[in-house]
Amino acid sequence: MVYLVRMYRVRFVPLGGIIGVTKNMYVYEIYKDDALQDIIIIDCGIGFPREQEFGVDHAIPDISYLLDKKDKIRAILLTHGHEDHITALRFHYNDLGRPPVYGSRLTLMLAQHKCDEFNVKLKTTLVNFDSTYQFGSFKAKFIRMTHSIPDTTHILLTTPIGSFYHGSDFKMDLTPPFGYAPDFYEIAKAGKDGVLCLMSDSLGSDREGFTLSESVVGKTFEDEIRTTRGRFIMSTFASNISRVRQCAEAAVKFNRRVCLLGRSMKENTKLVKDIGYFPIPPKFLIEEKDLSKFKPHEICIIATGSQGQYGAALSRLATNQNKFVRISKGDKVVFSSDPIPGNEEEVYDIIEHLYLLGADVRYSDVADQLHASGHGSQGDMLLLMRLTLPKFLIPIGGTIRHQRLYLELTKKMGYQDKQVYLLREGETVWFDEGGRTSLGEVIMTKNVFVDAYGVGDVGDTILRDRMTLSTEGIVFTVLKVARDNTLAEKPEFTSRGFIHGESGTNMNDKDKVYDGAAEHIGKIFDQNRGTMPLKKELVNQLEKYFFRATNKRPLVVLETIQV
Amino acid sequence: MVYLVRMYRVRFVPLGGIIGVTKNMYVYEIYKDDALQDIIIIDCGIGFPREQEFGVDHAIPDISYLLDKKDKIRAILLTHGHEDHITALRFHYNDLGRPPVYGSRLTLMLAQHKCDEFNVKLKTTLVNFDSTYQFGSFKAKFIRMTHSIPDTTHILLTTPIGSFYHGSDFKMDLTPPFGYAPDFYEIAKAGKDGVLCLMSDSLGSDREGFTLSESVVGKTFEDEIRTTRGRFIMSTFASNISRVRQCAEAAVKFNRRVCLLGRSMKENTKLVKDIGYFPIPPKFLIEEKDLSKFKPHEICIIATGSQGQYGAALSRLATNQNKFVRISKGDKVVFSSDPIPGNEEEVYDIIEHLYLLGADVRYSDVADQLHASGHGSQGDMLLLMRLTLPKFLIPIGGTIRHQRLYLELTKKMGYQDKQVYLLREGETVWFDEGGRTSLGEVIMTKNVFVDAYGVGDVGDTILRDRMTLSTEGIVFTVLKVARDNTLAEKPEFTSRGFIHGESGTNMNDKDKVYDGAAEHIGKIFDQNRGTMPLKKELVNQLEKYFFRATNKRPLVVLETIQV
């Protein structure tokens, strides 16, 4: 009688990031004779549910599957310092048994920083790019890569049955403005030695060609500053550290003082300054309150709020709510990021207001090269395939649409459908000795949402919405606005679970409350004298009004239509 | 007393190709204690002087410098099979002492083929891409690369003082339709091991981004054929073997027979068919004379003459001079190449004629992705720099403009001016031990022109022009053409060195000759019934007429103006 002994098998378990873009967390497992030996976790980030406001609500990976396997977790490896790759550690690190955490310099710094507020202390090891690390039967090598944040890496995981190239968020930036270019030799060497499966960022698979180098944007900043008579104001994500640095360096070239606005912008810059990643001479960095000491052409402001977030630095500038500076003719505002789908309305609202104040506004519709994605396009992805020459491929970090387009790309390289796994969260793949693969058991994961503990600027969370709905109710209104931006009709309100039918209120009270609300809205329109108030401002004012009037905080949903 | 012994030095001597684009020939020399030890020659091609018609006149490298150093020439290495890299061998091979010739399969085949007419027999070695070849103190490794012809290579030359990466004509084609992709591992390994100097194709340095993959054009062919009711006719360079194959394969997909028109098209295809590079089933390949046996929608014609060359297959189709096929409504003609600067007029002339015959015409002005350059753009060049990480760089294969733009590119990578040599033909660079470099002695080269021994389709050569001018004279005329394409005035002629003042002719004879010429021109216009005759046709007819009338063959220069 012959016993077939299957020695080693590897399983890939995506606990997040696989089609939601964000909330990245990937588990690699080695089994020997069907017994789990070792687990490596790559990344542990928060998610930004797409249907809500960006950056406000958090989802975190569901780690239930791992809780009885803590003793097998050999390490957590982090690819780069973006929140959707590191920030869930503060919720999960202790529950995962506090395994060692490996990553590059900036990555570990940001990861620990995010954990500080929760008093979570990571056991970190700063990786050496020349070293290979052994974790049980895994070997891991970190490889330098480029993205929109310095110190981004890819990870080559070698197992007894083959190698896995974990190609997390990247673009092939041949001329990064700072730091290292991709280490093409190590990537090609991985391919030469044999890669069993490539896990590849697929978010840019709907764009042809190669993504622009980040340094192109620095050149654009210089060109834009050169032609600006007044203040130069740039807005981008605070996490895009290279972008912020390029803008500050361009400002210094033209002898402008740099003022950072927005909590996350200040915080991130402070962190990276300590490790030399923001080498702006101190005399060029000024505080908000000192803005009035300089002439407009001596000022460069770098502000959060490029997605039109209400209450963020840029939105406050656009509505003249900043105490120290008033936007005026000659000033130029540059949006150095594209609106994330769903945010267009808010962004255009801000742009309208900036124009009304007399500023020149530059955004991607009217100017090229203000923004370069941090994610590779089809060319970047094809190049990674060519370099690593994998037998199998799994697109990660994109939506279903991106996965499908990635599949098309693999066909251009001659791959067949059976070599590409399009997975959903929790769907797993087995890799056997001899190059056989198969879909494994589906790990059931739940949606886990957490409130935004001081991370975003302001906003309602899903959790808050649900709580509000269950305890305070909801009020809808549609404002009919005339062409001259005055109210065309007295606003009418509809509600659920708010006033009507609750004890202690009656129809008369309700009418009184709504009349007052309509009057309040009318006043805001009057104060704005012919310019359209910000939608968020109206909601905010209504929330305050309802609270004063009823001591309740209903969810306010407001639409405007032009009549 | 201390003697400084300079052990090894290397000199790079471009004998052609350095700013003229074509006529590629590069010499690498190793010196030991100032004595020349070994010479390696890379490529030995003909040149197409830019100010003349493409592909008609030839210049060849001046090898005077090498003639007393034949015993040091260890080998000639060929990068790929284009004429500007191999075709001067038939003039120079024996004079160079018949050194061994190394190259890839198609390259050697084409090189030998070009030598056959001259009874020159090359001593060839087919290279193995896994091998390193030793030539005196040189080591050479061939590296797979992509261009518009299969079996293109780059060459890594290693010397006692460092390595030279000879990056001849290339683009980084990640999805080549046939054959191999660039061998990124070997290129990156060269960079990892250390490249002293990169010699890089610079012809595409005026284009941003990456050059399109050749396979994009194949997709376009399919789309174009799908929407063609009548004959599908594609014109490109015969040397673009991948393009011709893609078109033929697309035709077969749609069940069309393929007919090759033009001598070089037939000849090239015949050659590559023997080595399996044109695997079209025989029943799909038909002869010109069989075109009438098939319905228009069963036919695909692949023709020479995409540059508007007079007398080439496409020009004959456009003027209904092909006996077996008449272009008509429903037919589609695709130009799968961009006009080379200077050829626009001829190309548009052909396009006009094709439209008049009722064909649908697709060329780069009206349709994208009909053509992909064989030369890389800025992105391709930056990627080669990133992979090889050279200490010094020398742009080759471009004009002065391309060299300057390449210099700009190197700055994006952080290189300084002193690390980049912009050379003219015969200007040399010394590389010393310890990484010092300096400009060397300038090797004086002469222009060497040769007549077009049966290579191009038809045409006058510089040499012929000069000979004609000195022995037969020249006749000018300006034709005034009315809006309805009839002659507005009787043509007048001016001449130098033709009839006037020569013995045996007098003014009366001259007038008679010119009257006859005018009459002849008039007849051609009449025959064309309202369409403008091809300029080349008029010149050709005049040449014939003058020969009949005077037994002389003056150079005829003719301009037309619309009045």
**pLDDT tens, residue order, chain B (563 aa):** 555 566 899 999 999 866 555 789 999 999 999 899 999 999 999 886 544 333 345 678 889 999 999 999 999 999 999 988 999 999 999 999 999 999 999 999 999 999 998 899 999 999 999 999 999 999 999 999 999 999 999 999 999 999 999 999 999 999 999 899 999 999 999 999 999 999 999 999 999 999 999 999 999 999 999 999 999 999 998 888 899 999 999 999 999 999 999 998 999 899 899 889 999 999 999 999 999 999 999 999 999 999 888 888 999 999 988 889 999 999 999 999 887 767 788 888 899 999 999 999 998 877 778 888 999 999 999 999 999 999 999 999 888 889 999 999 999 999 999 999 999 888 999 999 888 999 999 998 877 766 444 332 223 344 455 455 556 677 778 788 887 888 888 888 877 767 654 444 455 577 788 888 888 888 888 887 777 777 778 888 888 888 888 777 777 877 777 77
Closest Cβ–Cβ partner in A181, A209, A413 for B386: A181
Tokens, residue A43: 């990344």
For residues B450 and B90, the answer to whether their CB atoms sit within 8 Å is no
| Residue B404 to chain A, least CA–CA distance (Å) | 19
How far apart (Å, rounded) are the C-alpha atoms in residues B146 and A440?
40
B219 inside 8 A of chain A by CB:
no
pLDDT value at position B40?
98
Residues near A29 by Cβ (< 8 Å), separated by ≥ 6?
A10, A11, A13, A36, A38, A39, A72
B505 inside 8 A of chain A by CB:
no
To 10 degrees, the CA torsion angle through B424, B425, B430, B431? 80
Tokens, residue B556: 């005829």
Pick the residue from chain B with its C-alpha nearest to A216. Answer: B412
Strand partners, A42: A26, A77
Residues near B299 by Cβ (< 8 Å), separated by ≥ 6?
B231, B232, B256, B257, B259, B291, B325
Distance linking the first and last C-alpha atoms of chain A: 85
Could A175 and B210 be called an inter-chain contact, meaning their C-beta atoms sit closer than 8 Å? no
Nearest by Cα to B394 from B85, B14, B8 = B14
How far apart (Å, rounded) are the C-alpha atoms in residues B420 and B416?
7
| Residue A413 to chain B, least CA–CA distance (Å) | 6
Q: Which of A143, A145, A173, A175 to mutate to test the interface with B (most CBs of B within 10 A)?
A: A175
Nearest by Cα to B191 from B375, B435, B391, B12 = B391
Could A174 and B413 be called an inter-chain contact, meaning their C-beta atoms sit closer than 8 Å? yes
A469 inside 8 A of chain B by CB:
no
How far apart (Å, rounded) are the C-alpha atoms in residues A79 and B212?
31
How far apart (Å, rounded) are the C-alpha atoms in residues B30 and B240?
36
C-alpha gyration radius of chain A? 26
How far apart (Å, rounded) are the C-alpha atoms in residues A316 and A128?
43
Pick the residue from chain B with its C-alpha nearest to A378. Answer: B174
pLDDT value at position B450?
64
| Residue A246 to chain B, least CA–CA distance (Å) | 15
| Residue A169 to chain B, least CA–CA distance (Å) | 20
Q: Which of B174, B187, B412 to mutate to test the interface with A (most CBs of A within 10 A)?
A: B174
A463 inside 8 A of chain B by CB:
no
Tokens, residue B166: 């000879």
Nearest by Cα to A92 from A27, A167, A159 = A27
Q: Which residues of chain A have pLDDT under 70?
A: 1-6, 17-21, 48-58, 341, 449-472, 497, 499-508
Could B175 and A215 be called an inter-chain contact, meaning their C-beta atoms sit closer than 8 Å? no
Give pTM, 2 decimals: 0.79
The gap from C-alpha A88 to its chain's centroid, in whole angstroms, comes to: 13
Pick the residue from chain A with its C-alpha nearest to B193. Answer: A185
The DSSP element (H or E) to which B559 belongs, if any, is: strand B555-562
CB–CB contacts below 8 A, A to B: 61
Could A192 and B185 be called an inter-chain contact, meaning their C-beta atoms sit closer than 8 Å? yes
Could B413 and A175 be called an inter-chain contact, meaning their C-beta atoms sit closer than 8 Å? yes
pLDDT value at position A476?
80
How far apart (Å, rounded) are the C-alpha atoms in residues A67 and B354?
74
CB within 8 Å of chain B, chain A residues 382-411: 382-383, 385-387
How far is residue A330 from each of residues A228, A231, A296, measured CA to CA in Å?
A: 7, 7, 9
Tokens, residue A129: 């790019």
Closest Cβ–Cβ partner in B175, B192, B210 for A413: B175
Sign of CA dihedral B296, B300, B306, B312: negative
For residues A136 and A159, the answer to whether their CB atoms sit within 8 Å is no
Pick the residue from chain B with its C-alpha nearest to A215. Answer: B412
How far is residue A130 from each of residues A142, A186, A526, measured CA to CA in Å?
A: 8, 10, 66
DSSP helix/strand/coil, B432: strand
| Residue B412 to chain A, least CA–CA distance (Å) | 6
Could A185 and B188 be called an inter-chain contact, meaning their C-beta atoms sit closer than 8 Å? yes
Q: What are phi and psi of B165, to 5 degrees?
A: -100, 110
For residues B317 and B331, the answer to whether their CB atoms sit within 8 Å is no
> Which residues in A lie closer than 8 A to residue B176 (C-beta atoms)?
none
Pick the residue from chain A with its C-alpha nearest to B378. Answer: A174
Residue A412 CB neighbours (<10 A): 16
How far apart (Å, rounded) are the C-alpha atoms in residues B312 and B332?
18
Pick the residue from chain A with its C-alpha nearest to B212. Answer: A209
pLDDT value at position B465?
53
DSSP helix/strand/coil, A135: strand
DSSP B259-272: EEESHHHHHHHHHH
For residues B102 and B78, the answer to whether their CB atoms sit within 8 Å is yes
How far apart (Å, rounded) are the C-alpha atoms in residues A79 and A195?
19
> Which amino acid is present at B224?
E
Determine the angle formed by the axes of helices A184-193 and A378-388, rounding to 10 degrees: 50
DSSP helix/strand/coil, B99: coil
Closest Cβ–Cβ partner in B191, B213, B379 for A210: B379
Nearest by Cα to B165 from B148, B142, B147 = B142
Tokens 């502000």 correspond to: A303
How far is residue A356 from each of residues A120, A243, A266, A292, measured CA to CA in Å?
A: 47, 27, 28, 22
Closest Cβ–Cβ partner in A175, A379, A386 for B210: A379
Residue B437 CB neighbours (<10 A): 18
Pick the residue from chain B with its C-alpha nearest to A412. Answer: B175
Tokens 């007029």 correspond to: B345
Nearest by Cα to B164 from B139, B181, B145 = B139
Tokens, residue A101: 């955490």
For residues A336 and A306, the answer to whether their CB atoms sit within 8 Å is yes
DSSP A292-323: GGS-GGGEEEEES-TT--TTSHHHHHHTT--S
Nearest by Cα to A78 from A12, A149, A19, A137 = A149
**HSE-up (13 A, CA, CB side) for residue A265:** 25
> Which residues in B lie closer than 8 A to residue A185 (C-beta atoms)?
188-189, 191-192, 387
How far apart (Å, rounded) are the C-alpha atoms in residues B185 and A393?
20
For residues B193 and B69, the answer to whether their CB atoms sit within 8 Å is no
A219 inside 8 A of chain B by CB:
no
For residues A209 and A172, the answer to whether their CB atoms sit within 8 Å is no
